[in-house]
Amino acid sequence: MSGNRDEDIAWLKGYGYRPSLVSSAIALTVWSIAYLCIIYQCIRRRTSFLWTLVFGASLEIVGWILQTASAKSSESKSLYLGSYVVLLVAPSAMLAASYTTFNRVVRLTCPPRSLDLNRLWYPTRRRILSELICNLAAFVPLVAQVIGGTIMACEFEVKKGTSNWKSRNGSSIFVGLALQLCCTVVFLVLGVRFYFVKVEPDKGSKWTAIFWTSQISTLMILIRTVYTILVLPFGPQWAYWLFDSIPVLVFLVLFAVFHPGRYLPISLQGIIVPEQQVTKSNEGSQLPELKQGGFADLPELVSTEPQSRPVVALGNIDIERSAANPNLHILEQMARYA
């Protein structure tokens, strides 16, 4: 009996703290609410490009189910180590959603001539390549962490409550976290670069909401990654909640509240980004794509019906003042700045 008790105490050291069933159950409930909100909006708005977010959030739910079960049965090593590995890799899949959201914001706000490597520092002009980079930047670290986490779980020493993660095989978890750290820093730098060199559209545009959602969510995972690297394999309970769990929850809440499907046009919500994009909002705005000097294809805004009515001079273009031309006030504002 005494031997079992000593083994149980030694095993509890592996957690870094004594697991709490109440806190794990509360976390599972809160995470599930955010998860259901995301699932509902993805289905309703058909945002298929966020499949990585759904996948990562699903892993989070599975991880918290295992964590709750392990808190109830602290003698089970498999339950806890299973939850540890699942919760370790889940944010990497979620990061892909943040990266691809940022990529779509860039394509939404910048005209084709501005999608330049020298201007934005990554190949946004090549739509498939840019989308592939966003996904690889998330899933390559994920695969490395899955391999490393699995090896670490297999090498876990019950008596010492530690894991030889620094071994040649187990170090892949550190490599995966280091890759994730580098990728998050790079995408945050690209976001800052884009913000300062972008073609400024209407200041009232809603694209800023999902831009900051992608940036802040990436920052949250960056904080969590730094913490995980510093405390591998385990850390104290208060630090785990503050620097690991809470940042992931903030990520989910941001995408639940500022869901990209509310702001992106339907053409940008698929898995594959079309070649030509027009800055149309979901409300049905018919404005053409913005360019640095103004609107592209101005004649599209002009009524083609022949009418003998007064005209307004706009540079070299004469535009008929017609009731069939609802966008005339926009052209008149442009004329004042010409």
pLDDT (tens digit, 0 to 9) for every residue of the chain, 338 residues total? 444 444 444 445 555 566 678 988 999 999 999 999 999 999 998 899 999 999 999 999 999 999 899 888 877 778 878 888 899 899 999 999 999 998 888 877 776 666 666 777 776 666 667 778 888 888 999 998 888 878 777 776 544 444 444 454 457 788 889 999 999 999 999 888 888 876 555 444 678 889 999 999 999 999 999 998 888 766 777 888 899 999 999 999 999 999 999 888 888 888 776 654 444 433 333 334 444 434 344 344 444 444 444 444 444 444 444 444 555 555 555 555 55
Domain annotation covers residue 290: no
Task: In whole angstroms, give the CA distance from residue 91 to residue 87.
Answer: 8
> Model confidence over 196-223: pLDDT tens digits?
876 555 444 678 889 999 999 999 999 9
Instruction: Assess whether 207 and 80 both reside in one domain.
Output: yes
Instruction: Assess whether 248 and 301 both reside in one domain.
Output: no
202: number of Cβ within 10 Å: 12
Instruction: Assess whether 215 and 302 both reside in one domain.
Output: no
236: number of Cβ within 10 Å: 12
Instruction: Assess whether 48 and 128 both reside in one domain.
Output: yes
Among 248, 268, 288, the domain boundary falls at 268
Instruction: Assess whether 118 and 157 both reside in one domain.
Output: yes
Domain annotation covers residue 289: no
Instruction: Assess whether 226 and 312 both reside in one domain.
Output: no
pLDDT at 293: 39
In contact, 221 and 255? CB cutoff 8 Å:
no
Instruction: Assess whether 186 and 312 both reside in one domain.
Output: no
Instruction: Assess whether 327 and 248 both reside in one domain.
Output: no
Instruction: Assess whether 69 and 162 both reside in one domain.
Output: yes
Domain annotation covers residue 274: no
- What the block records as the tokens of 55 is 């996948």
> Model confidence over 11-42: pLDDT tens digits?
455 555 666 789 889 999 999 999 999 999 99
| Proportion of the chain above pLDDT 70, given as a percent | 63
Phi, psi of 208 (to 5 degrees): -60, -30
- The pTM assigned to this predicted structure is 0.72
Domain count of the fold of the chain: 2
**Angle at the Cα of 91 (from 85 to 97), degrees rounded to 5?**
145
Instruction: Assess whether 71 and 187 both reside in one domain.
Output: yes
Domain annotation covers residue 291: no
Instruction: Assess whether 55 and 192 both reside in one domain.
Output: yes
- What the block records as the tokens of 60 is 């989070």
**Residue reference for tokens 């941001």:** 254
C-alpha distances out from residue 212 to 4, 121, 243, 248, Å = 52, 19, 20, 16
> Domain of 117?
2-268
Burial 307-330 (b: 16+ CB within 10 A, else e): eeeeeeebeeeebbebeebebbee
**CATH number of domain containing 66:** 1.20.1070
